[in-house]
Amino acid sequence: MSKKKGLSAEEKRTRMMEIFFETKDVFQLKDMEKIAPREKGITAMSVKEVLQSLVDDGMVDSERIGTSNYFWAFPSKALHARKRKLETLSTQFSEGNQKKENLQQSIKKAKIGRQDTGKQIK
């Protein structure tokens, strides 16, 4: 008899996101506690914890309406978030390259007029 290996936290998060992206629907916590174990193999005890971690990371939206909490995530939001992150990283990369180029030019200017004596200072 072999024991069934449980899912890692990241696997649970990925599978939970699949539920949202495949159905493109809005859910309550009790709905997710029914759907996730049946369709994706996420234990019912960990659904709330996984869902809250996704909300905390901004991957799933949550809203309290009346006495109920509703959760949703649509593929288009994830696409836009990735595009914004890519633009931010591209900007940072180009700024870093520009700074590197400026520093290299400063080094060249500083070397002008200096002579290498071959002696090292101890």
Helix (H, G, I), strand (E, B) or coil at 4: coil
Neighbouring C-alpha atoms within 13 Å toward the C-beta of 104: 6
pLDDT reported for residue 121:
64
Q: What pLDDT was estimated at residue 57?
A: 85
Q: Where are the beta strands (DSSP E) in 2-120?
A: 27-28, 61-65, 68-72
User: Each residue of 58-78: pLDDT tens digit?
Assistant: 888 899 999 989 999 888 877
- Is the pLDDT reported for residue 120 higher than 70? no
Domain extents for the chain?
9-73, 75-112
Q: Which residues pair with 115 in a beta bridge?
A: none
- Beta-strand ranges (E) seen in 1-122 are 27-28, 61-65, 68-72
The reported pTM is: 0.59
Distance CA 108, CA 52 (A): 53
pLDDT digits (tens, 9 = 90+) for 106-115: 988 888 877 7
26 closest CA partner among 56, 53, 51, 50: 51
CB atoms within 10 A of CB 29: 16
pLDDT at 28: 92
Q: Tell me: pLDDT of 2 over 60.
A: no
- The 10s digit of each residue's pLDDT in 7-54 is 788 888 899 889 988 888 899 989 999 998 888 888 888 889 999 998
Count of Cβ atoms closer than 10 Å to residue 103 Cβ: 10
CATH topology classification for 9-73: Arc Repressor Mutant, subunit A (1.10.10)
